């Protein structure tokens, strides 16, 4: 067959396939066996699948995400170090459930206890850290609730640091997604530990209970949980290319089910959606005329990256609309909102962010103000 004809046929087939992909609709999210679940894009915050996401449920050991977050905050503030040694109390040593197997009266570093909490889900390590930081586990729980409020976790109430069953110890899928995103965003160096598959302490090797780490190479964290009242739970996060998804699965009937439900959610999100960063924080998107100022030009941009999550193949259908306030006058403070940036897909707005001043501009001299006033009168 003629080489040019073969090339033409291949080109037509490829073009047809591209058009087919672009035209393919996004199916509804899968119906899954869990009390509640949530799939969200980390970068854009867009929810891709959900069920009972604001239903208050017991989180079991997923609670330890907040325990670890408080520890990270203590380290960040300088009030705690990874090398600091913690004396193991009798209460911590006696904790039931999953254990790191620390010994009462021994001194263990914060770093080792953190790994025992994250990788082995040790209740003993968790209580030891809570007592070291706050004096008692109940006081530490109050501390956890304060941070939960700061993160906007409005459906959450912590009673203990481990997730030990208590009808008043509750959270929601929405709140857990906020917490998971905060850990990844604020403490990427500590998030790395969540992908560790095993940890050995006191001669005892234990394996990470998040079996998705073996099943899906794109999964690089988070945390499992299980009690009779909470069921089997799993928060997972996976990254493929520039897209990171977070899945929250609460209240399944078995360990295998929580894995399958989590995998189904992640596969659905990566298969049918794509994430694109359109603009970077601090990037100049427009230059506006400013009146009565020491300068005539004002650079406008965003205070955070603008990321959109859209059905695959729809990128070329995006439109950006920039709306700038009329008659901007000095003085202007850096960060002051002076308009909006709206992103639309086929005419429908999918995200909007404030357009802000990227620098401060003071009021101009008497001469500059007078000149601008005259120009405005003629305009």
β-pairing verdict for 231-240 and 273-279: unpaired
Q: Residues, the chain, total?
A: 379
Closest CA to 340 of 277, 276, 274, 279: 279
Rg (CA), the chain: 26
**Residue whose token pair is 């073996």:** 214
HSE (side-chain half, CA atoms, 13 Å) at 190:
27
Number of H helices, E strands in the chain: 11, 16
Told to judge if 121 belongs to the known catalytic residues of this protein, a careful annotator would answer yes
Asked if 309 contacts 275 with a C-beta cutoff of 8 angstroms, the reply is: yes
Could you say which DSSP state residue 284 is in? -
DSSP symbols for 313-379: T-GGGEEEEEEE-SS-BS-B-TT-EEEEEEEEETTEEEEEEEEEESS-B-B--HHHHHHHHHHHHH-
- Helix pair 64-77, 110-118: axis angle to 10 deg: 150
Catalytic residue among 36, 89, 98, 121: 121
Report which of 275, 39, 59, 50 is spatially closest to residue 177, judged by C-alpha positions. Answer: 39
Element (H, E) at 48: strand 47-51
Determine contact, residues 140/134, Cβ cutoff 8 Å. yes
Instruction: Give how far Cα 6 sits from Cα of 2, 9, 11, 20, 77, Å.
Output: 6, 5, 9, 21, 65
Surface-to-core class of residue 179, CB atoms within 10 Å of its CB (0-12 exposed, 13-18 middle, 19+ buried)? buried
Residue 365 a catalytic site member: no
And the tokens for 129? Answer: 């850290």
Does 136 qualify as catalytic in the annotation? no
In the numeric block, which tokens belong to residue 268? 């659905």
Catalytic pick from 36, 61, 237, 275? 61
Active-site option among 64, 115, 211, 223: 64
* Active site amino acids: 61, 64, 121
């Amino acid at each position: 067959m003629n080489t040019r004809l073969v090339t033409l046929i291949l080109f037509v087939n490829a073009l047809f396939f591209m058009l087919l992909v672009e035209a393919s609709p996004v199916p509804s999210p899968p119906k899954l066996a869990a009390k509640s679940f949530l799939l969200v894009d980390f970068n854009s915050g867009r929810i891709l699948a959900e069920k009972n996401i604001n239903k208050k449920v017991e989180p079991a050991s997923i609670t330890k995400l907040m325990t670890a977050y408080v520890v990270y905050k203590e380290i960040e503030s300088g009030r705690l170090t990874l090398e600091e040694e913690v004396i193991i109390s009798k209460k911590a040593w006696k904790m039931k459930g999953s254990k790191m197997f620390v010994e009462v009266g021994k001194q263990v570093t914060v770093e080792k206890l953190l790994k025992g909490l994250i990788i082995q889900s040790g209740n003993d390590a968790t209580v030891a850290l809570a007592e070291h930081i706050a004096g008692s586990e109940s006081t530490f729980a109050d501390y956890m609730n304060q941070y939960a409020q700061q993160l906007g976790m409005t459906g959450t109430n912590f009673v203990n640091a481990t997730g030990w069953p208590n009808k008043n110890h509750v959270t929601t899928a929405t709140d857990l997604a906020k917490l998971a995103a905060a850990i990844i965003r604020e403490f990427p160096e500590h998030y790395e530990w969540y992908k560790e598959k095993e940890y050995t302490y006191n001669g005892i090797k234990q394996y990470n209970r998040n079996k998705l780490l073996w099943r899906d190479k794109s999964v690089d964290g988070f945390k499992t949980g299980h009690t009779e009242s909470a069921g089997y739970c799993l928060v997972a996060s996976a990254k493929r290319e520039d897209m990171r998804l977070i899945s929250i699965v609460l209240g399944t009937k078995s360990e295998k089910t929580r894995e399958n439900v989590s995998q189904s959610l992640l596969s659905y999100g990566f298969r049918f959606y794509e994430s694109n960063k359109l603009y970077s924080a601090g990037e100049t998107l427009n230059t506006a005329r400013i009146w009565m100022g020491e300068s005539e030009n004002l650079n406008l941009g965003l205070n955070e990256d603008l990321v959109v999550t859209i059905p695959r193949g729809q990128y070329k259908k995006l439109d950006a609309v920039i709306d700038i306030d009329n008659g901007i006058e000095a003085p202007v403070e850096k960060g002051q909102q002076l308009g909006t940036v709206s992103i639309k897909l086929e005419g429908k707005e999918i995200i909007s962010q404030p357009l802000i001043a990227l620098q401060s501009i003071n009021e101009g001299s008497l001469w500059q103000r007078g000149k601008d006033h005259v120009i405005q009168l003629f305009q």
